Amino acid sequence: MRRYLIRRLLASVVTVIGATFVVFALSRVAGDPLLLYAQPEGYGRTPEQIRALEKHLGLDKPFIIQYLVWVKNTLQGDLGQSLAGERRVTKVILEKVGATTQLALAGWALATFVGVPIGIISAVYRGTIWDYLGRFVALFGQAIPNFWLGIVMVLLFSVWQEWLPSGLRGETFDIRFFIMPAIVVGTSSMAGYLRITRSSMLEILDSEFIRLARGKGASPTAVIWKHALRNSLIQPITLSTLLLAGLLNGTLVAEAVFAWPGLGRTMLEAVNNNDFPVLTGGVLVFVIIYVVFSLVADLLYIVIDPRIRYT
């Protein structure tokens, strides 16, 4: 177990370095970040001023030196300064991560507590009307585009009926601001939960030890909740942890449709502005979230199924 954890941690470090290196390189390919600060020669700045600004931003050094300097500063807790807003990247991320976390948790809770029970019901009552309804919900959730669903919900519930606010988050907590964004975020995730839970439950319900439990006189409730469900949770837990990590990394579509002031929208603006300090800092946060949640998923396997051992 200890050896496995050491290998995973080393692999995680390599993953983080590789991801930030690639994004750091691509941010230079997209365009010259200096143009955010300075116009070309003859449009307001002299060549001396441009060279001084380039030196101040560290853009006069070779690419690999720039990356190593960024790694050194990151290890000291300094993610740099935004080129567009001249603000600390750490402060920009901390200001936006709260809104994204709230929306991600709302969408994740909706997907989990709706998708998993429907998947269980669909598997237990296979071939019945409940199974067909569950599969229809899964098909609907995976087929419908999130941006279209968000726009239609705004049109129906904000413009026509005026029941819910059309966007933003509100200065104080109000559940009405979360209803439509959470549904948009959780719909496709709920469909994924439903399909994986159903297929996993069907596989377990057809296994020999379930037949043995029924043959020994176990009640249907005990067979489903004690024997079948626990042994079918490996796949849903993998999806659950990685899904939550993905939602925490920025629910871009919902944030764009509902003008949600989150991290995904900030990263999109950083891409459009070639604001590479914000872009690289955001990617670092995203990769760390994925790595941590992947490790948590692996450790949860042992808790759920004692037969699993890492040797």
Each residue of 100-149: pLDDT tens digit?
888 888 888 888 888 888 988 888 888 899 989 988 888 888 888 888 88
Element housing 293 (H / E): helix 276-304
Each residue of 55-71: pLDDT tens digit?
766 667 777 888 888 88
The answer, as to whether pTM is greater than 0.85, is no
By CB atoms closer than 10 A (0-12, 13-18, 19+), residue 309 is: exposed
Residue of 267, 276, 287, 229 lying closest to 26 (CA atoms): 276
Each residue of 262-304: pLDDT tens digit?
888 888 888 777 777 888 888 888 888 888 887 777 777 766 6
Q: Report which residue type is found at 15.
A: T
Domains in the chain and their CATH numbers?
A: 2-75 (no CATH), 89-304 (1.10.3720.10)
User: Which residues 6+ apart lie within 8 Å of 191 measured at CB?
Assistant: 115, 137, 138, 139, 140, 141, 142
- Give the separation between CA 15 and CA 69, rounded to whole angstroms: 19
Contact 282, 90 (CB under 8 A): no
DSSP 77-117: T---B-TTT--BHHHHHHHHHHHHHHHHHHHHHHHHHHHHH
In the predicted structure, residue 99 carries a pLDDT above the cut 50: yes
Indicate the range of 173-187, 201-215, 230-244, 283-297 predicted with least confidence. Answer: 230-244
- Per-residue confidence (pLDDT) for residue 305, from 0 to 100: 64
In the predicted structure, residue 41 carries a pLDDT above the cut 50: no
- Per-residue confidence (pLDDT) for residue 129, from 0 to 100: 92
Burial 122-140 (b: 16+ CB within 10 A, else e): bbbebeeeebeebbebbee
